[in-house]
Every structure is written in structure tokens, then in C-alpha cells.
Structure 1
Amino acid sequence: MTEPAAPPSPTGPLVGLRVLDLSRVLAGPWCTQVLGDLGAEVIKVEQPGQGDDTRRWGPPFLDDGSRDSAYYLCANRNKRSVAINLSAPEGAALIRRMVLNADVVVENFRVGGLARYGLDYPSLRALKPDLVYCSITGFGQDGPYKDVGGYDFLIQGLSGLMSVTGLPDGVPGGGPMKVGLPVSDLFTGLYATISILAALRHRDQTGEGQHIDLALLDTQVSLLTNQASNWLNGGMAPRRLGNAHPNTVPYQDFRCADGEVLVALGNDRQFRTFTRLIERPELADDPRFSTSADRSVNRAELIPEMNAAIARWKAEDLIGAMEQAGLPGGKVNEIPEALDHPQIRARGLVQEIARRDGTPVKFLGFPARLSATPADYRHAPPRSGEDTAAVLEDELGLTKHELERLLTAGIIAETLS
């Protein structure tokens, strides 16, 4: 076994919080990464010889011999990794012992999957009544779909999100489209973080832990927001509008003489200013277009008029004119352009941290700036099991002889680095 390295001391508002992360892929790891950024001590438990599924979701892979994918790297910083075979009784017993030192457990096994190992919420609550235990699944712990596996793409379709994403039917490229990021997973991870912090607040006040049942489908449906409200409260069935907005017009992309420009006008004053800028002030006086509601109803007549006026502009000139007029507009950046945007550089969102062997890993940092307790980046995303010996020795007081026995028996594993 390798000698355990002393971990950097965490800072941040969640210092002292201990999280046992039994999750994999994205929703759970995203949640625990946020908790880690804010100072929590996160121990990621992985299966020996397998690890988190996303370690293999490439290319691209990190060129350090680990063959860890860039996908895995985006959601697993500020964690230490231990490899324990939880399907073995002795491995499950090790995890139960670790739970006694934990405040939070996060898992995303199928419903009932951990009960056979004595790692479900009722079993662990009996050992630690104040435990906060968060279960993340595709469809929740009950209901007719509870045993169905849930993946982001499937959830985007079932939730209705894809029905309002993409170009309308009848135009080239029309049809339902998923969002270019796994938003159902990411939002579920954020809701898990919010729910865990709320449950910890309750625990601190009452001494009582609780179970959090969080489903990707529930999360994504809850985020239909204005589109769902349009249907529930106005009877307006949402439809795909491409880059247009269902309520606010104009709020979409337009083609200039040399490229696309985004125009996002949120009120009547902005619309009037914009019509003067493009030398079509009469549009703001037209009763069909004078108010936001009128423009929404009569968008089919308004947009061709705006297309013709905007087509005469060069994109850079129009964007510059909108900036001078205080109007919201811009271009569609490629991701490399976005990451190199002067505002993003000034905000310091792109960060870098080195793995234990010195290999640099670049990542996008925590977006909120806390004036007194800022986010803290102390652990690069670990190799699978690289902290097994250190964690089990520190957490459970296992001797080197015991660690060697467990390693030989296949109960634990360690990646040498």
C-alpha cells in the first residue's frame, strides 16, 4: 500500500461536513462536487476494477496513464476516492463503519439496490439517526416507473423539454431536439445540493436526519416553468419555436449580411429604441406591435419586417450599436470563444489544479463569489481508489496489515500514482 498523503485543509462554509458519495455518472457527482467546493470533505466510493462509469466516457482522455475521460474530470474534484467492493459483506461492513463518521450519504443505485448490502436508508438510519441520505434515481422511489433506469436523454424527452426545443415542424431541420448539455442530470444535482443543505439545517435544529427522494423526471418537469404555466394557466400548448421566445418578441436570432446576431428585447421601451436604431421607428407605433402582447400575437407579421431591416447590417456593427444604446444583443460563441471571453477571463472561471503526479487538470470553477467563504479547490479529480489506504487508515484506524489483507482478498483496491 502507498503511504497516505496528508490532504490539504479545506476552507469554506461547509468545513467539517463529511459526505460519503456512493454515486456515479453525473447527477450525484455534480451534487457532491458542489458540496466539496464549499468545503465539505467528500469521500467517493467506487467499485474495484470498475470505478465511476464516466471514467471511460471518452475520448478525449487525460494523457497521464490513467485514461480518465475529460467527462469524468468535470464533476469529481474536491473528492478522495476509495475502492471498496460493497457487494462483499466485509466491504459493505467497511462502508457502514464509514457512515458513522458521515453527515451525508449520496447514492444513485436503482430503487432497493442497496438494501441487499445493508446500505439502504432504513439500515443506515438505525446506525445513525441524524444521517441525511439522498437517493437520486430517474423516476423516484415510488410510482409505476420506479424500477426503470433513467438517463438524461430519456428524461429530456419524457419531461416535455424536447417538445419545446428545436426548430418547428415543417422547416428544414425541424423536429424535437435535446439540449446540448445533460441538463436533467445537472439540475438534479443542484436540487440535491439544495435539499441536502435544507435537511442539514433541520438536523442541526432537531437532531433528526431524513431521506431525500429525488428524481430526474420530477426535476426536469419542475423546470418547465413558463412553458408549463402557459398551458396550466392559459391553455396555450407550448411548441417548438427554434430560438424564438413563446411570450416575448423579438427575442431570437436574426441574420445579418455576414452572420447571425442575437436580439433579446424584454420590454416595450427596448423595442422602441431598437426600431429607431434599425431605422424602422414606425414599427413601434404600429398597433399590431406596440406592446409585448401585441408583438407576441402578431409575430408572423413583425419578424419578416425585422429580418429585412437587420439583413442590411454587418453583425459586428449591429452588436456595437446595440451596446451603445444599452440594448441586450450579441453573437453565438463557440465554446472555445466563450471560455476565452474577456468577461469570463476577468471573472476567473477557468481554473487549473494538479493531480498527485503533477498532471494539470483544467476545470470550470464554482460560479458564485462568496465574500467571506469563497469556494476552495484543493483536490484534483482523483484516480479510482488512489486514497483507499489513507482514508481507511484515517477514518477507521485500520492497520497496514489489515489493509494488505483486504487488498489481497479483493475487498479493496488502490491505484498507485
Structure 2
Amino acid sequence: MAAVPAPASGPLHGLTVLDLSRMLAGPFCTMVLADLGATVLKVEPPFGDMTRAQGPYAEGDELKAYGGYFQSVNRNKQGLVVDLTKPEGAEVIRRLATTADILVENYRPGVMERRGLGYEQLAAINPRLIYTAVRGFGDPRTGVSPIQDWPSYDIVSQAMGGLLGITGPVGGPPVKAGPGLGDTLPALFAAVGTLAAVREREITGHGRFVDVGMYDAVVAACERIVYQYAYQGVVPGPEGNAHPLLCPFGIFPARDGFVALAAAPADHHWVLLCEVMGRPDLGADPRYAHNTDRVARQSVVLGLVSEWTGRHTRAELAELLGGKVPFGPVNTAESLFDDPHLKARSMLQQVEHPGLDRPVTIAATPIRFAGGAEPVVRRAPLLGEHTDAVLRGCGYAEEDIARLRTAGAVGGVSDAGSHPPTL
């Protein structure tokens, strides 16, 4: 079905994904699949995914087809515009779904069913279809929730899932995590569930409905707070930069910033740290011999370590501790661009951007395969850039495409008329 060539590489090459999702959770899931070689068809409404207009825009970008947000999570995808609210548009999706392997959407329950595009409706025409839903509070097919119709965003799932409740200064108010973990954690679970269903289909020949609730995913990722309460009746609160069960394990001051240091739970790391600190007596002191002893005296231990780290720069600490004790500097975005590890791992990739005469940089996939090539990153599509080509690829004649465009059922850049800018 794929009409626009995709890289003939990657373990998911040959799989076609209909991406009807928007914002971050769904697109991040399909981004993972695209990075692994699947042909992902990014289906957008006529006005586009809302993230197209959210920037940030690079200096000199007068076109403003999309900003960094959209570019980052929609790379390696093909773009088409289909208006699902029109019967003709819904019919286009049904036709694409007849040969697709996977469909991903993140609408609220019932939306797709009202358009004739629910799992059962599409599975009737393609029993091999794997249908993945990422919703705020799950889907009634897998468990009816009293709040299943509530809308949700990253901040809501972070809050309800317990993440905010343990983040922030000790005794202070909850603080949200900087990145959109309330979206990206569910996205990763959804990608894993989707690939599990692909494996199952190899055995059974049948697809599966895959459901991930954003709230559920954050609870799963915050698993420690669950067993702390279940085992000890403890209700964890904001933890600051320390760990309630490990010591020393957290963030410590340096002369020019901060560093992360984890000399626990392995007690030999504590001994090594004490030697580097010039305090072998602490490493031999039975009051601090085991992690549980140090947790019981956490304020003293953290004070001793902080006093020592604060006398050194991050570079000096890296020289003293690197390779001996789990350690790393607290990086900023600027320092990431100069990091030799990230350069060696090709983790920051340059990609073309419409409207610019220079490439931009986005984070690449961390998934690597021994003997495999460096990941290929292609820019995100313009709005509906591949509409005509994809429709031709699934059997639509030129007059059919023209009819659908006239009806407003499909749209975007037309290769019979205007063209995307030359890059």
C-alpha cells in the first residue's frame, strides 16, 4: 500500500501503520515504529495536527509549516489529509485499513465508532488489523472506568498517576516532570503492546485491540510508591533530590553546577566513594557499612558528600569518579550538543526543515542493533504532502482523487498543483 518509498531497512520494514493520532502520546508511539522501519501514514484533519502551530520555530523560517515539536515526533512519516467527519473521508480510511497492519489513534472512547471506524468495524474487513488506542483512562473494551470519558493531557496523567506527588522539594508542593512523561510513557507501553500483537498475529493470523491508558501507564512507571504503601503503609511525598530507600543516591552540588551520584545500593561503591573523598575511615565505619545504615543516617551522609562535591567542578568530579562510582553531570540542553558520548552514539541527528536552507537538530531513537546501520532520520511531512501518492498506491484513480478533493474529504499539498519547497 505504501506509495512513497520508505527506507528498505529496519526490523519493521514492510509493516504499514495508519497513524490517526495527534498531539504527543499517539505520535510518539508511531514515531518509535517509524524509526524502526515501518511505513507510517500520518493522517491529519484539514487544519492539521494542533502541534504544527505550536512551534518553536527556527530563526528565518518564514514558511512555518511546522515547528520543532511536530518535526521531532513526526519524523520518518508520510503525511496525508483526510477529513474523518465526512463520509467520503471515513471511507478512505476504511479502504486504507483493508491492507494496513496497524492503526493507532488517541481519541476518546466512542469517537471512532461513531464514524464507522472502530476496531470491530475495521476488523470485519481486515481481521489481521492491530488496532492500538492510547486514551486518558483506557477503553471500555478492557475495563470500564467511571472516568473513561474525561479528556486528558500529560499534566493530568502525571498528577493522577502519582508522579507529581513524589516530585519536588521535601515538604513542598508537587512539581511536574520537565518532559511530557504523562504522554511518552504511555506511548512506549503502546509501542511494546503493538509489537507484541504483531508477534501474536504471526502465530494466530488475527489482529488484536491494544489498549493503554495514560493514567495506568504512569502508575505502572511509578511502581515504587505502590509497594511502599502496600508493604509499609507509607504515603510517599515529594522527595527532593534524594531517594527514600538508597543512600547516597541523588543530586549533589558542584562548584559550577550539579552532578548525579549513586553510591548505593552496592556497598562497595560507598567504600570507593569514601576513598576518592579522602575519607577511608567513613568507608570502614560500621555505622555506614550497609545501605540501610546510611538511609537511617541520610542527613549526615548527604551532608558529608555534598560538602566534598561542592569543593570541585563537574569536570574535576568526572575525573575523580568517572568509571568508579555511578556518576554523571546534570546536563543542560546546551551541554548535550557538545557531549562526546552523544556524538559517538549519533543521538542528535540533523534533519531538513521546510523553509530553511540549513538543517535542524532533533533527538534520534536510542534503539540500536549490532551490525545495523546508523538510524536514518527523514523530516516530518508537510500537511498532506503524500495524500495523492498514498491514495494512488491503494488503487484510487486520478478522477477519484479529484472527486475526493472537491468534496473536501482529502486535501493537503497536491502533486498535480502546488508542490512542497525544494529542500
| Same-fold call, TM cutoff 0.5 | yes
Superimposed CA distance per residue, residues 274-299 of structure 1 (whole angstroms, 9 cap, x where no aligned partner): 11222223323333322101111211
Is 1:363 matched with 2:362?
Answer: yes
Indicate the residue corresponding to 2:284 in structure 1.
285
Sort the Cα spacing of 1:60 and 1:84 in 2 relative to 1 into closer, same or farther, 3 A. same
The answer for the alignment partner of 2:132 in structure 1 is 134
Find the counterpart in structure 1 of residue 102 from structure 2: 104
* Conserved 8 A contact 2:65-2:354: no
1:276 aligns with 2:257: no
Deviates more, 1:202-211 or 1:357-366: 357-366
Cα distance, 1:138 vs. partner? 0.4
Contact 1:45–1:84 under 8 Å retained in 2:
yes
Relative to structure 1, the CA distance from residue 375 to residue 18 in structure 2 (aligned partners, 3 Å threshold; closer, same or farther) is farther
- Matching of residues 292-311 of structure 1 within 5 Å: 292-311=291-310
How big is each residue's C-alpha offset from its partner over 1:131-168, in whole Å with a ceiling of 9 and x where there is no partner? 11011100011211100011100111111111111111
Letter in 1 for 2:49: D
Q: Judging changes above 3 Å, is the alpha-carbon distance between structure 1 residues 11 and 247 closer, same or farther for their aligned structure 2 residues? A: same
Q: Secondary structure at the match of 1:213?
A: strand
Query: How many angstroms apart in 2 are the aligned matches of 1:213 and 1:255?
Result: 43
Aligned to 1:79: 77
1:336-369: CA deviation from partner (whole Å, max 9, x where unpaired) = 2113201111111112233578853432222121
How far did 1:99 drift?
0.3
Select which of 231, 234, 257 maps to 1:233. Answer: 231
**What amino acid sits opposite 2:330 in the alignment?**
V
Point out where structure 2 has 5 or more consecutive residues left out of the alignment: 414-418
Check conservation: 1:55, 1:72, Cα contact below 8 A. yes
Gaps of 5+ in 1: none
Q: Give 2:149's aligned residue.
A: 147
Letter in 2 for 1:293: T
Do 2:4 and 2:390's aligned partners in 1 also have CA atoms closer than 8 Å?
no
Give 1:388's aligned residue: 387
Look up the match of 1:53: 50
Provide the rounded CA distance (Å) in 2 between the counterparts of 1:122 and 1:375.
Answer: 39
Per the alignment, residue 352 of structure 1 pairs with: 350
- Preserved CA contact (<8 Å) 2:167 2:175: yes
In the TM superposition, 1:197-276 aligns within 5 A as 197-266=195-264, 267-276=266-275
Q: In structure 2, what is the Cα distance between the partners aligned to 1:310 and 1:412?
A: 60
Partner of 1:159: 161
2-side partners of 1:103 and 1:283: how far apart? 60
Across the aligned residues of Structure 1 and Structure 2, the Cα RMSD in angstroms comes to: 2.2
Moved more, 308-317 or 111-120: 308-317
Q: How many residues align?
A: 407
Question: Matches of 1:283 and 1:123 in 2, distance apart?
Answer: 67
SS of residue in 2 equivalent to 1:288: helix
Q: Is the 8 A contact 2:182 2:214 kept in 1?
A: yes
- Give the share of equivalent positions with the same residue, in percent: 36
Distance 1:259 1:361 in 2: 28
- Is the alpha carbon distance of 1:238 and 1:394 closer, same or farther for their aligned partners in structure 2, counting shifts above 3 Å? same
**Cα shift readout 1:241-288 (whole Å, capped 9, x = no counterpart):** 211112111112223445433322122111112112222233233333
Aligned-pair distance for 1:319? 2.9
**Counterpart mapping for 1:163-174 below 5 A:** 163-169=165-171, 174=172
* Cα distance, 1:191 vs structure 2: 0.9
- Contact 2:157 2:215 (C-alpha < 8 Å) held by counterparts: yes
Query: 205-214 or 232-241: which moved more?
Result: 232-241
Structure 1 pair 348/271, CA: closer, same or farther in 2 (3 Å)?
A: same
- In structure 1, what is the equivalent of residue 416 of structure 2? none
Structure 1 segments (4+ residues) deviating >4 Å: 355-359, 372-376
Q: In 2, are the aligned partners of 1:10 and 1:378 still within 8 Å (CA)?
A: no
Q: Aligned to 2:366, what secondary structure does the other structure show? A: coil
Counterparts of 2:218 and 2:85, CA distance in 1? 32
What is the Cα deviation at residue 376 of structure 1?
4.8
Q: What amino acid is aligned across from residue 50 of structure 2 in structure 1?
A: D
Given the superposition, is the C-alpha separation of residues 5 and 220 from structure 1 closer, same or farther in structure 2, using an over 3 Å criterion? closer
Report the residue type matching 2:111 in the other structure.
Answer: G
Q: For 2:296, give the aligned amino acid.
A: V
Residue type matched to 1:402 in 2? Answer: D
* Rounded Cα–Cα distance in structure 2 between residues aligned with 1:384 and 1:257: 48
Indicate the SS of the match to 1:15. coil
Aligned amino acid, residue 241 of structure 1: E
For the residues of structure 2 that align with 1:53 and 1:100, how far apart are their CA atoms?
A: 28
Deviations 1:77-114 (A, max 9, x none): 11111101111111101110110010111011111001
- Deviation track 1:280-326 (CA, whole Å, cap 9, x = no partner) reads 233233333221011112112322233334444444333321127x1
* Residues 254, 307 of structure 1: 8 Å contact kept: yes
CA contact (8 A) 2:243 2:249 kept: yes
Task: Provide TM-score, normalisation by structure 1.
Answer: 0.91
What letter corresponds to residue 222 of structure 2 in structure 1?
L
Q: Distance in 2 between matches of 1:178 and 1:357?
A: 34
2:82 and 2:58 map into 1 onto residues whose CA distance is: 24
